[in-house]
């Protein structure tokens, strides 16, 4: 027999655990690592109305965490109660849904005191400051202290009372990075509050790791300033402001263009009523909103804030409060998907500025002598004097297979100012269109651009005319459980416009009579189970629509302008004008940019003229 089998033991009498043991058990849920302790303490400071919060740590938070704030403080007489389990000033216990603060469970401070050496120094109003200490669950007496205002909470030797937990912590560097991530998320949630983060591992004043001064202005200005500090100017320059409301749910924030995507989901910041969360419903909605614009290995960058009446969302799902549960999950998901899709559509042909930055970075200066410089200067005559014969291309670069635009009307710079993507000047390597704008040039991947244009046209036609369905010669019967049968039949009405017809059959079975014609031969049983998995996970299904759009994308790819085809001047200009009028034309169906824009200042910098 296995001596370590937990189910094989002699019966022990039922006994009441003492407070110290109960607090250590609770600490295992609330405080997983130093970053968890920082999160709880900073949230307490925010609940106390702090306008400035300073966080200090040493050795990744393992030996020291100190959080100082200028909030309203704690009266000396309440300090012992602050260390008692389930004691809180945030709620009175009568309504666990109407929660308007970060903290409310009354577990953080006693949990921290149970696994480390905790000291709280606080001054309430004009009262004298006081201090209380707790070590491994043993609470000391309240003592007088010196403090100007607010509260200072100092936690030393985290998990010294439960040393086994220390073995599960990561390196100091990894724990420090987790602390930084927590502070940055909370700083996004409260742009009007100033934050500093300092590492004092080596002693002394240490190193300042992060600083965010309080932001002023309206909500969007303050949030933009804070996001610029945390995520960088590139994010704000390439993000779309989001502001939408539906049935009492309000969605605000910023969502980046598809061409400003990341290789991992490291730039997705989601908040519910100001609380940073990692919720699978919201992440799924975000994925659905960008599904048509990004390949599976790319991830959007967003900072989105969903606000609603506290009674419409349950935040008391997990001790760490990182998950929430919506009363109307479909409404929340639909708001995110539709709002982001609308915002991306309104962005039109716009692509992120980082595309041109990456292009400039790919250039390398050539220093081969005066002859090559002379050729470069002579070749620019075809750009600077478009009315002269376009002989420069053929004379100096015959192997580049450039197709110049000869029409005087097409090459005239007049009216270029009114054209965002400029006027076509030439075609390179029988695929890339060179266009002149009022302040620079555009280089267009004709195949990728036309692929997106054809795809958007096919989607419009599908939306207008519906999806053609093919009737199965022999309807497919799919056996399901009772709950799955009810779920798929509830979704049948939404699946019918996509060409998938499902009807009830005997017992727990359903009958699939029609499938989308564009999908060809379909394994109906596998599709039904995929749809059920999505319904269970997200409450809605995109499976059928995603498969149809994947087919349309492939059709668009094969039906678009192929690399190697020579285009005339009118054809190239017509493609540019259609791109300007078509949403999402700034990226192809796989999320790659369809064009690169270089300003004259960029071009001149390449030649050392700036």
Nearest CA among 322, 344, 329 for reference residue 249: 329
Asked, for residue 26, whether it belongs to a domain, the answer is yes
> Could you tell me the pLDDT band of residue 3, with boundaries at 50, 70 and 90?
low
Q: What is the pLDDT of residue 174?
A: 95
**Which residue is listed with tokens 């006081």?**
130
Q: Is the pLDDT of residue 161 over 70?
A: yes
168 & 27 share domain: yes
**243-247, 464-468, 550-554: segment of lowest average pLDDT:** 550-554
pLDDT in tens, 140-152: 999 999 999 999 9
Q: Is the pLDDT of residue 100 over 70?
A: no
Q: What is the mean pLDDT of residues 553-576?
A: 80
Q: What is the pLDDT of residue 460?
A: 84
Phi, psi of 598 (to 5 degrees): -120, 125
Residue of higher predicted confidence among 176 and 11: 176
Structure tokens at 518: 């564009």
Q: What is the pLDDT of residue 393?
A: 34
Structure tokens at 238: 């390439």
pLDDT in tens, 186-238: 999 999 999 999 999 988 888 999 999 999 988 889 999 999 999 999 999 99
Nearest CA among 426, 419, 415 for reference residue 383: 426
194-199 and 52-58: which strand pairing? parallel
469-479 and 207-212: which strand pairing? unpaired
Q: What is the pLDDT of residue 603?
A: 84
Asked, for residue 320, whether it belongs to a domain, the answer is yes
CB 341 within 8 A of CB 289: yes
In angstroms, the CA 473 to CA 475 distance is: 6
**Domain CATH for 401:** 3.30.1370.100
Residue of higher predicted confidence among 54 and 549: 54
Q: What is the pLDDT of residue 98?
A: 58
Q: Is the pLDDT of residue 388 over 80?
A: no
**Domain CATH for 119:** 3.30.565.10
Which of 191, 211, 231 corresponds to the end of one domain?
A: 211
Q: Is the pLDDT of residue 286 over 70?
A: yes
584 & 438 share domain: yes
338 & 476 share domain: no
Q: Is the pLDDT of residue 600 over 60?
A: yes
Q: Is the pLDDT of residue 12 over 80?
A: no
585 & 514 share domain: yes
In angstroms, the CA 445 to CA 395 distance is: 25
Asked, for residue 6, whether it belongs to a domain, the answer is no
> Could you tell me the pLDDT band of residue 97, with boundaries at 50, 70 and 90?
low
Asked, for residue 594, whether it belongs to a domain, the answer is yes
User: Which among 29-33, 111-115, 241-245, 357-361 has the top mean pLDDT?
Assistant: 241-245
Asked, for residue 304, whether it belongs to a domain, the answer is yes
189 & 295 share domain: no
Which of 346, 370, 403 corresponds to the end of one domain?
A: 346
Structure tokens at 504: 């009830």
Which of 165, 189, 211 corresponds to the end of one domain?
A: 211
**280-294, 315-329, 410-424, 436-450: segment of lowest average pLDDT:** 410-424
pLDDT in tens, 339-382: 999 999 888 777 777 777 777 666 655 544 443 433 333 333 33
Domain that holds residue 83: 19-211
**Domain CATH for 315:** 3.30.230.10
273 & 193 share domain: no
Nearest CA among 518, 490, 514 for reference residue 501: 514
Nearest CA among 179, 189, 208, 200 for reference residue 276: 189
Q: What is the pLDDT of residue 90?
A: 60
CB 193 within 8 A of CB 214: yes
Q: What is the pLDDT of residue 430?
A: 86
Q: What is the mean pLDDT of residues 262-278?
A: 91
Q: Is the pLDDT of residue 394 over 50?
A: no
Tally of domains in the chain:
3
Q: What is the pLDDT of residue 564?
A: 76
Q: What is the mean pLDDT of the chain?
A: 82
Q: Is the pLDDT of residue 385 over 50?
A: no
In SS3 terms, 322-345 reads as CCCEECCHHHHHHHHHHHHHHHHH
Q: What is the pLDDT of residue 164?
A: 79
**Global pTM?**
0.74
């Amino acid at each position: 027999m296995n001596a370590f089998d937990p189910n094989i033991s002699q019966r022990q009498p039922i006994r009441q655990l003492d407070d110290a043991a109960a607090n250590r058990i609770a600490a295992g849920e609330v405080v997983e690592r130093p970053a968890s302790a920082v999160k709880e303490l900073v949230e307490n400071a925010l609940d106390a109305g702090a306008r400035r919060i300073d966080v200090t740590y040493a050795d990744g938070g393992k030996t020291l965490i100190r959080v100082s704030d200028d909030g309203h403080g704690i009266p000396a007489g309440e300090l012992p109660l602050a260390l008692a389990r389930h004691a809180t000033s945030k709620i009175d216990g009568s309504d666990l849904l109407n929660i308007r603060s970060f903290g409310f469970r009354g577990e953080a401070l006693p949990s921290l005191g149970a696994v480390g050496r905790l000291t709280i120094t606080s001054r309430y109003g004009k009262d004298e400051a006081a201090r209380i200490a707790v070590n491994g669950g043993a609470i000391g007496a309240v003592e007088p202290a010196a403090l100007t205002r607010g509260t200072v909470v100092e936690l030393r030797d985290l998990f010294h009372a439960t040393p086994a937990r220390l073995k599960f912590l990561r390196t100091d560097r990894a724990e420090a990075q987790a602390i930084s991530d927590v502070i940055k998320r909370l700083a996004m949630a409260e742009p009007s509050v100033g934050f500093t983060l300092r590492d004092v591992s080596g002693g002394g004043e240490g190193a300042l790791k992060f600083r965010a001064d309080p932001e002023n202005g309206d909500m969007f200005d303050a949030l933009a300033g804070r996001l610029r500090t945390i995520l960088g100017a590139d994010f704000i320059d390439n993000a779309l402001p989001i502001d939408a409301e539906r049935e009492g749910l309000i969605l605000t924030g910023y969502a980046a263009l598809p061409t400003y995507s990341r290789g991992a989901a490291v730039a997705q910041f989601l908040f519910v009523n100001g609380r940073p969360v990692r919720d699978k419903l919201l992440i799924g909605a975000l994925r659905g909103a960008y599904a048509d614009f990004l390949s599976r290995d790319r991830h959007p960058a967003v900072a989105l804030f969903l606000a609603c009446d506290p009674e419409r969302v349950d935040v008391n799902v997990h001790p760490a409060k990182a998950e929430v549960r919506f009363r109307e999950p479909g409404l929340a998901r639909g708001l995110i998907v539709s709002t982001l899709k609308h915002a991306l559509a309104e962005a039109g042909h716009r692509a992120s500025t980082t595309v041109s930055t990456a292009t400039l970075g790919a250039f390398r200066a050539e220093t081969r002598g005066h002859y090559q410089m002379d050729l470069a200067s002579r070749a620019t005559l075809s750009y600077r004097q478009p009315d002269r014969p376009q002989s420069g291309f053929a004379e100096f670069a015959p192997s580049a297979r450039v197709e110049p635009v000869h029409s005087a009307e097409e090459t005239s710079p007049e009216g270029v100012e009114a054209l965002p993507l400029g006027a076509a000047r030439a075609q390179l390597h029988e695929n890339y269109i060179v266009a002149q704008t009022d302040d620079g040039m555009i280089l267009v991947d004709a195949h990728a651009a036309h692929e997106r244009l054809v795809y958007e046209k096919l989607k419009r036609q599908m939306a207008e005319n519906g999806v053609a369905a093919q009737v199965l010669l022999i309807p497919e019967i799919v056996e399901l459980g009772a709950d799955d049968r009810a779920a798929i039949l509830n979704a049948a009405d939404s699946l019918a416009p996509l060409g998938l017809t499902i009807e009830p059959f005997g017992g727990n079975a359903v009958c699939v009579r029609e499938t989308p014609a564009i999908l060809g031969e379909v394994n109906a049983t596998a599709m039904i189970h995929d749809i059920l998995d999505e319904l269970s996970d997200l409450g809605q299904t995109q499976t059928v629509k995603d498969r149809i759009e994947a087919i349309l994308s492939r059709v668009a790819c094969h039906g678009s302008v192929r690399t190697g085809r020579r285009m005339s001047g009118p054809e190239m200009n017509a493609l540019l004008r259609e791109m300007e009028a078509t949403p999402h034309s700034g990226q192809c169906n796989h999320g790659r940019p369809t064009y690169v824009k270089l300003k004259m200042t960029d071009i001149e910098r390449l030649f050392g003229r700036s």
